[in-house]
Every structure is written in C-alpha cells, then in structure tokens.
Amino acid sequence: MSSASMEQIVSLCKRRGFIFPGSEIYGGLGSTWDYGPLGAELKRNLKQAWWKSVVHEREDTEGLDAAILMHPVTWKASGHVDGFTDPLVDCKSCKRRFRVDHLKEDKKKQKKCPDCGQVIDLEKNPPRLFNLMLKTYLGPVEDESAITYLRPETAQGIFVNFINVIDSRHRKLPFGIAQIGKSFRNEVTPGNFTFRTREFEQMEIEYFVKPDDAQKWYKEWVAVREKWYLDLGIKKDKLRLRVHPKEELAHYAIGCTDIEYLFPFGWSELEGVANRGDFDLKQHAQFSGKDLRFYEQASNQRYLPYVIEPSGGVDRAALAFLVDAYREEEVKGAKRVVLGLHKNLAPYKIAVLPLLKKRDDIVQLAKKIISGLGKKFVVKYDDTASIGKLYRRQDEIGTLYCVTVDVESLQDNKVTVRDRDSMLQDRVSLDKLEEYFNDKGL
C-alpha cells in the first residue's frame, strides 16, 4: 500500500465527481474549485460531523450562522484593514510576484525566486504589503462610503454577536459559539489543489472563558480537535501538533498550536487553535462603543472574557481525508483503488446493483430495495457497467456496501451484501436488510 500523490487525488476527484476546476468551460478561474456530486456529499458529511461534535454533543456551545457581509468598521476593529497583509516581492528577472515568507533560502542565506531561481535582494527590492481582503461595494454607488469586504474569516461574526447569544441563551462562562461558513482571501499564491484558495469554508469556534482558566481550555481544545481528526480515521502518524514559537504569535495572542497533516506536498496546517486573550472583544467594544463585558452574578463583576479559538478549514479537512483514505491494492493481479473513508464521511453508504440490467424483474426489485433503504440511508442505484466494474467504481468513491440483486434474489428474497474494505460477502434476507445496516452503525 502506498501513499497517494496529489496527481492521483486530483485525477480521482475529477474522474469520479468529487471536485472540478471552477468555471472550467471558460478555461477556469484562478484556483477556484467546484464540488461535484460526491464532493458535495463529502463536505456535507464533514460539516455535519463537526457540528455534531462541537454543537450537538456539548452542553457548553451554541451554533451561529452570521452574514458574510459585515459593517466595514468590523474589519477596522479586528485589525484586518491595517494588518491583514502579506509582504510581497517581485522577481526582477521573471516578473512574477511572491510572498516573502514563501521564498526559499540557499546556503548563503540568499532568498531565491521559486520560479526562475534568480536571487531576490530584499534590501534593493523591499517587500510591499498587500491586503488580502476582497473588496466590494454595497448598493448602486461605487464610492468610498459603499466599500465593504467579503469576510476573510467567520470569527468576527461570532464576536459581534457575543452579547446577542449570551442574552438570548442565558449563558454563563465558559461557553462557546460555533459557526461554519464561507470566507474569502485574495491569496497571492493559491495552490496545492483545494488547500489554498481564494474562496473557502471555515469551521470556527470562539470559546469564551474566565481569564484565569484560559490556558487550561486552550490545551483542552487542542486535544479535543486533534481527537476529532483521529476519530474520523486520519492516520496518527500523518497528524502532528506544532506549537507556535513566540516570534510567530500575533501581538495579542498568548498561545497557538497548529494541527498539521502530512500532505503529499509536506506538513501543512489543517487547523489552528489559539488563546487570543481578550483582544477581539476589547477591540469591538472600543470601536462600537458598546459594553461587551460579561456580567458574572456570583462575584457581581463585569469583565471581558478570554477566548480560545479552534479555527479549521472545511476544504483542507476534506482534502486531508481524501488523501488519507486513498489506497491502491492488488487483488488477483489487478489494481484496486479504494477510498477508505470513515463511515460517517463516505458520500454514499450503500449502492444497489442489479446483476443483469436487462432483466426487468431484477431491476424492479433493486429499485424497490432502494425506495425502502433510501429513506434511512444514502443509497444509489447503478447499472452502467458489469458487476465487477461497478464494484471497483464504488470502491473508488468510498461506498461502504454494495447490495447485489441476482436471479436467485427473486426466489429466495435475499441479496448479496459486499463490504468495501474486506470485500467479504453476506447473503442477507430482504426483510433483515435495514437491521443489517443499522447493526453496522450506518
């Protein structure tokens, strides 16, 4: 069994309907991607698994779905207007533009152009700051006063609703607000497939705590979030925690740990968990003139809570799960590609396949099975190839079970159920089929 390459993943995603290049018929649009039928299911499952674990299964959290467009002062307060910048340099030789922190150094500590290899002298050619927020205009007049931004993170929607959630839900500390939604960044060097794009989805939690408890909760959330990836099947040796050294921390941050995955292009961030102190609420209190302090009845005190922020990317997580699940095996001398996704993530749980698609009675029975099972599980019908090929295709998209209807099924009311991973087959009575899949934990 070998690790997947990016070429294998990109090709599988296109071929089997997980991810297509955005606006493809017009030649694509710089690093935008569209999730196809399978990818849409995978992403939904992933977001559902996250929401279940951080909102539904916890007593101490609430969900939120805030607007993408926010009052422009939000981004002044958050620091994004002034500070959400990347330092860029132009290569004088090939004229391409790069992020300074993406330039590699040679043995002489000289920075080199990643494209043409020319030395880039930062003293003669100092970097310029480039703001990553995507600007837009609200309303019909495109003047200064109409400028706003597509949010570069979902977090600020949580901070501005802090008091609304506390008041409407009568919350005490510690408690968290979780949200999933689209964010936009005008990345200078997007790439590595869906890893870095200009439009992406985030899943973020702001967990508000008493300042004295912040470090304890920070460590707790790092562990909780690491476990989530592992529980959904990510291999332990492909996941690591990277604690940010002091010089890498934002000026207000007290601590930050990245959860990284070993992608084919190297260790890269899936999610960051940060102790942000009271920076965000303090800023919004100042810019809005509103009192955002939490009132603690027991001590009759008002104070700004500290916040722990686990902030992950849906697209990056989906990519990591795809890469991690991909495997190639040899079965009876032939290659078998399997997407061994966790049962909660697999796009389709069950495929129903007629052994003979020209036999109307077999097809009818297969469709009858689907109309029953389809109410409880995500089930798909397929008769577009021979049974051997259909099995391989379902393996490649991670379908957990294939139910095959054959001539005998018409007599004995039984079907063959094949397991994706073991390829073992069970003969199961039609009236026991739903129970069979329930027992499998679907």
* Site residues for ligand ATP per CB under 6 A: 153, 185, 187, 196-197, 200, 202, 269-272, 311-313, 315-316
Closest C-alpha to 135, from 127, 144, 123, 126: 144
Among residues 88 and 337, whose Cβ is nearest to ligand ATP?
88
Q: In the complex, which residue's CB is closest to ligand ATP?
A: 313
Q: How far is the CB of 335 from ligand ATP (least distance, A)?
A: 32
Q: How is residue 3 annotated by DSSP?
A: P
> Dihedral (C-alpha) 365, 371, 372, 376: value to the nearest 10 degrees?
140
Contact of 239 with 230, CB cutoff 8 Å: yes
Angle between helix axes 314-325 and 6-15 (nearest 10 degrees) is 100
Q: How far is the CB of 152 from ligand ATP (least distance, A)?
A: 8
| Cα 33 from Cα 42, distance rounded (Å) | 15
Q: How far is the CB of 56 from ligand ATP (least distance, A)?
A: 22
Measured from the Cβ of residue 436, the count of other Cβ atoms closer than 10 Å reads 16
Angle between helix axes 314-325 and 37-51 (nearest 10 degrees) is 110
Among residues 311 and 416, whose Cβ is nearest to ligand ATP?
311
Q: How far is the CB of 204 from ligand ATP (least distance, A)?
A: 7
Q: How far is the CB of 185 from ligand ATP (least distance, A)?
A: 5
Residue tagged 């379902």 (tokens): 394
Among residues 196 and 276, whose Cβ is nearest to ligand ATP?
196
Among residues 277 and 354, whose Cβ is nearest to ligand ATP?
277
Q: Give me the long-range contacts of 36-39 (CB less than 8 A, separation at least 24).
A: 37/347, 38/347, 38/348, 38/397, 39/13, 39/318, 39/347
Write out the E strands in 158-245. 175-184, 199-209, 239-243
**Residue 235 is encoded by which pair of tokens?**
């291999």
| φ, ψ (nearest 5 deg) of residue 45 | -65, -40
Q: How far is the CB of 132 from ligand ATP (least distance, A)?
A: 9
Q: How far is the CB of 370 from ligand ATP (least distance, A)?
A: 36
